[in-house]
Structure 1
C-alpha cells in the first residue's frame, strides 16, 4: 500500500500563478492569440502579459509570431509526450476491463477511432465459450454499433449521458453491445468503453440492468485521465 503524503502547508507564488494563467488561457482550436484576447481571458493587463511571454518564450513554451500574436511552442508537445508516457493508459484501462468482464459476465473492450474505423486497443474476453472472437488490433467499421456511436459523441453531449449506447445486430447480426465515450482532460474523446456479447445473452433489458457498472468504470477512467465535468 502506498502511503499518501500530505500536501506541504505553503502558498503558491503569485508570479508563477500569473504565468500559468496565461499559458492555460489557450484552448482547443486556438492557432494563435493576440494580447487583447489574452487580456480578456486572463484579466491581466497587456504589459504584464508581455513580460510573462518573454519568460515563456525563453523556456520554449510560447512562440511570438511576426504579426505580434502568440502560439504554443514545441516544448508543450514535449511535455505532453512526457505526460502520456507517464500516464500509461493500459495501466488504467486493463483493471477496469477485468472488473467489467467479471461483474457483467461479457467481454469488455476499449476502442479508439482510427480514421474511418474503430480499433480494438484493449480487450478482456468473457469466460463463455460462445463469444465474439476479436482481439486487440482488430478493426471494425464506424457504423451504428454502440462503440462507434460513443466515439462520435462530443463532450457536451456525452457528459450528460444517463443511458449507455446499446446496439444489436449493427455490425454482426448475432452480436450486441453497449458503450460509453471516454474523455481526457481537454474534453476530447479518446476512446470508448464497450461491453459486447451474443445478442441472446446481452439483451437490451440485461444491458440496462448492468449499465451502472459501465458508467462507474467510465467515470473512474476519466477521473484518472484528469477529465472534469
Structure 2
C-alpha cells in the first residue's frame, strides 16, 4: 500500500486549522496545534503562502486562508454549467447589440474563452472558444482582475506587454483602471489589445457574490465607440446580460 506524503498531510492539517476557529493564527499557535517544530511549520506556511493558499497579515504576522482557496472552492461550478446557463442570454445579447459576445473565465495567467456567439451578420468569423486573452489589456481581463484577487495578483505581478500604443503597462495606472472598474461595474478595452477593436465587459457572480466569469461585447471601434466613448446602451446591455447569468447560477438580485 502506498504511503501518504507527510508534508502534504501537514499542509492539509494547517489549512483545516485555519479554516476553523479564529480567523487568524500565529506561527506558535499553528505549530503547537499540528504538533510541529516552529521551523518546520514556518517552512510549510511559507510554501502555502507562495502558492496563494495562505496569507500573512503584515501588521500582526498572523496567518489566514488565502484567495487561491476561494478559487478552488468555486470549482463546484463547472465551466460547462456556466456556459449552459449563459447560452440564451448571450445569444440575445449578440442579437440586440449586433456584435460578437464572449464568455471568459480566469485560467492560468489569462482569460479562457469558453463561449463565443458570432456577430449576427454574413461576415466570415473565426470561432474563438478555447482561445486565451490577456488579463491586463482586454475588457474581460480587467473585469476579472478587478473582482478576483488571484487574477489581479497575476495581472500585477506578471509582465504586461504593450500590445498596441494604447495598452496600459504601468502598475499604478493599471490599478487605477481596476478601481474604476469596481466603482462602475464594467470595463472597456478600446484598441488596447487589437488595433481597430473595442470591447465592453461585466462580471458574472455566483450565489456568494464571487466572480466566476465575465461577459463581453466585442466589435469594430467605430461601432462600439462611435463618438470616442463606448455606447451607453451597450454598457447597459452587457451589464443586464451578466446580471441575468449571475441570477441563473444562484446570485441574488443586484
Taking structure 2 as the reference length, the TM-score comes to 0.54
Give structure 1 regions of 4+ aligned residues with deviation exceeding 4 angstroms: 129-132, 155-161
Of residues 145, 161, 167, the one that matches 1:152 is 145
C-alpha separation in 2, matches of 1:138 and 1:206: 25
C-alpha separation in 1, matches of 2:129 and 2:84: 15
2:132 matches 1:139:
yes
1:51-110 deviation per Cα after TM superposition (whole angstroms, max 9, x unaligned) = xxxxxxxxxxxxxx868xxxxxxxxxxxx87x646x922221111110100111000110
Of residues 158, 169, 183, the one that matches 2:191 is 169
Specify which structure has the higher proportion of helix.
2
C-alpha separation in 2, matches of 1:200 and 1:31: 52
Taking structure 1 as the reference length, the TM-score comes to 0.59
C-alpha separation in 2, matches of 1:219 and 1:109: 15
**Contact 2:142/2:187 (<8 A) preserved:** yes
Distance 1:209 1:171, change over 3 A: same
Match in the other structure for 1:220: 244
Three-state SS of the structure 1 residue aligned to 2:232 is helix
Of residues 73, 87, 100, the one that matches 1:94 is 87
**Contact 1:178/1:207 (<8 A) preserved:** no
Long gaps (5+) in structure 2: 1-15, 24-32, 36-73, 150-178
C-alpha separation in 2, matches of 1:209 and 1:115: 33
2:233 matches 1:209:
yes
C-alpha separation in 1, matches of 2:81 and 2:121: 29
**Contact 1:150/1:165 (<8 A) preserved:** yes
Long gaps (5+) in structure 1: 1-28, 39-64, 68-79
**Contact 1:110/1:194 (<8 A) preserved:** yes
- Pairs within 5 Å for 1:12-23: none
TM superposition shift of 1:141: 1.6
C-alpha separation in 2, matches of 1:220 and 1:193: 11
Moved more, 89-98 or 196-205: 196-205
Computing the radius of gyration from Cα coordinates, the structure with the larger value is 1
Match in the other structure for 2:210: 188
1:177-226 deviation per Cα after TM superposition (whole angstroms, max 9, x unaligned) = 00011121232221110100111211154532322111111111112222
Moved more, 102-111 or 132-141: 132-141
